[in-house]
Structure formats: structure tokens, C-alpha cells
Amino acid sequence: DADVTQTPRNRITKTGKRIMLECSQTKGHDRMYWYRQDPGLGLRLIYYSFDVKDINKGEISDGYSVSRQAQAKFSLSLESAIPNQTALYFCATSDLGLAGLDEQFFGPGTRLTVL
Amino acid sequence: QKEVEQNSGPLSVPEGAIASLNCTYSDRGSQSFFWYRQYSGKSPELIMSIYSNGDKEDGRFTAQLNKASQYVSLLIRDSQPSDSATYLCAVSRSNDYKLSFGAGTTVTVRA
């Protein structure tokens, strides 16, 4: 089974709809992240959480919210979807290892289209 | 200035050649550096991490870090068609361990 799973894998929705993307992990990592990827722009951080009680905004948090339901679950919501939120969304997890390297591991992604 | 910049590419190399990818970063306090490989439509996959100046080798991959020049590179030796992908450079800031990503360099290995 995959260590990091995301649901749904693909979603088409309409402008103004509320959408939730879910991420679950079995890696036992404390840190979880949500990114979006747009062609030519690389990965941009939306929100991140270093533990269940810690939620932080990333560089592009406007229009998004998150919930850390448990160590293993981190959900991203689009309260009122708009077309420029059409993108590929990735969840990632990490744990600060002994070497001090915060290596992040990515889920398979959710392709979201907002019409 | 972007925090992390990579060669815009695309980079086309013949099979068996060396592919050289470059990345520069703006935050002099950056501590950890990563290379991810991303196949089209797939998620990024970590292939190398480095945090000390010098070279780090793993199979056909070598990462090179020069903190004084704020430069990190990835060499792919004996390039194979399966190496055709987009390579993302990522840099971890010194105070919060969040990653900043470059836009990526697309590599095509010609058979």
C-alpha cells in the first residue's frame, strides 16, 4: 500500500462549489504539507502542519483552508472554488531525521479542474 | 529574484551521456538541498539530498553543493531513456525547514 494517499485523484467541479481534498499517510510522520503545481511555476506551498495542533499558512493560502484531523490525516478545502484554482495538488509528509534533513515524500496528487 | 532558480531547459542528451542540471538559491542561510525527479503526470520522487559542501554520489547520480556560491547541481551519468523527466531542485530554509522549489528542468534522453 502507498505510504501517502490522496483522494480524490481527479475532480471536476464548478465555480463557487466547496471542495475537500484529503490526504492520509502511514509513514508515522509528524509534518504534513499541501502544495499546488502549475505549469512553469513549480510547486508552491499552500499550508503546512508540524503536528496536530500546529497549522501554518504557506505562500499562497488565500482561498484555501486546512484541517489536521489526526497525525495521519490532513485535509485541504477550497471554500468557494474559482477557475484559477485549477491545478495539480500534492500532499507531502516529512519527519526531521537524525541527519537533520527534512526529506519530504509526496502523495500521488489530485488533479482539480474548476469550470 | 526567485528563491530557487534552475536552468529553464529543456535539456536533451544522447543515451549514455552526462546530463548536468544547475540550481542557484538566494537564501544564504539555507541548510538542506534536495533533487526530485517528476515524471509527467506523476508526483515528485526524492532522488538526492545533500547538506554539506562537496559531492555526494548515489549510483549514477551525483549532487554537488557549493554554499559560498549558493549553487547546487545534479549530474546524471550514463543517461538512460528512463531518466527522461523533470528534475526539481528544492532548498530548505535555515529557520523553519519549509522547502522552496525551483520551476524544474525537463530532461530528454535520446536513444
Best to test chain B binding among A3, A30, A43 (most B CBs inside 10 Å): A43
Q: Does A82 touch chain B (CB under 8 A)?
A: no
| DSSP-assigned states of every residue in A7-70 | E-SEEEE-TT--EEEEEEE-S--SEEEEEEEETTTEEEEEEEEEETTEEEE-TT-TTEEEEEEE
Task: Pick the more confident residue, A33 or A96.
Answer: A33
Whole-number pLDDT of residue A101 = 67
Vertex B4 angle, CA B26 and B32, to 5°: 80
Best to test chain A binding among B86, B97, B100, B106 (most A CBs inside 10 Å): B97
* Terminal C-alpha separation, chain B: 37
Q: A3, A18 in Cβ contact below 8 A? A: no
Per-residue pLDDT at B95 exceeds 70: no
For B61-81, the pLDDT digits (tens) are 999 999 999 999 999 999 999
Torsion of CA B100, A8, A112, A56, to 10 degrees: -40
For B8-67, the pLDDT digits (tens) are 789 999 999 999 999 999 988 888 899 999 999 899 999 999 989 999 999 999 999 999
What cell was used for A11? 475532480
- Check CB contact under 8 Å for A108 and B32: no
Provide the strand spans (E) within B11-92. 11-14, 19-25, 32-38, 45-50, 54-58, 61-66, 71-76, 85-92
Which residue is it, cell 480524490?
A8
